[in-house]
Homo-oligomer: A and B are copies of this chain.
């Protein structure tokens, strides 16, 4: 077995997630992950840039969905409406299967510095992508940064909420962004 079995990438992800759960991230060698998936270290690094990335596959797709939605939004829409559209656009990737191993994935990430680091970089990537797409629409630099940052905040809170409650991510994201905006209003109104 092994060679030419289909879905090598998925097998690697599952093996990694299992092993990280059983022994912890640091105590699991890439060779071991590959072995459990019926593959070798070489093949692992053909599918993932590094050991961390096995937990973050497909996040580039998210950034593309976001920027696509921002570029395609109606011209008269305000920055935060556009950001909302960006979050909603990512909903197609939030499948039941993804929700199933979401908590395990989050737990592993939280347990390790390298992984929190990678997660932070991904979020910065989202923020930069949205900022650029907003600037492309003519939104001034600072407004674009702020709107994008608020969007990432809502995305993160929304993701955690979605893991707990399930349902349609688009709905959850919309509601969460609304609450963030309300918080912003309370902040500026208070002084």
Binding site for B on A (CB under 8 A): 78-81, 113, 116-118, 120-121, 123-124, 140, 142-143, 145-147, 149-150, 153, 157, 179-181, 183-188, 190-191
B-side contacts of A113, CB under 8 Å: 121
B-side contacts of A118, CB under 8 Å: 117
B-side contacts of A188, CB under 8 Å: 80, 181, 184-185, 188
A116 and B145 alpha carbons, distance in the complex (Å): 18
* Chain A interface, DSSP helix/strand/loop, else mixed: helix
Task: Assess the A190–B120 pair: CB atoms within 8 A.
Answer: no
Tell me whether A150 and B149 are in contact in the complex, defined as CB-CB below 8 angstroms, given that A121-B117, A180-B142, A188-B188 are known contacts: yes
Knowing that A79-B187, A113-B121, A142-B179 are A-B contacts, what are 5 other residue pairs whose CB atoms are under 8 Å apart, sorted by A's residue number?
A80-B187, A121-B121, A140-B183, A142-B157, A146-B153
A145 and B152 alpha carbons, distance in the complex (Å): 12
Tell me whether A143 and B186 are in contact in the complex, defined as CB-CB below 8 angstroms, given that A121-B117, A121-B120, A149-B149 are known contacts: yes
B-side contacts of A150, CB under 8 Å: 146, 149
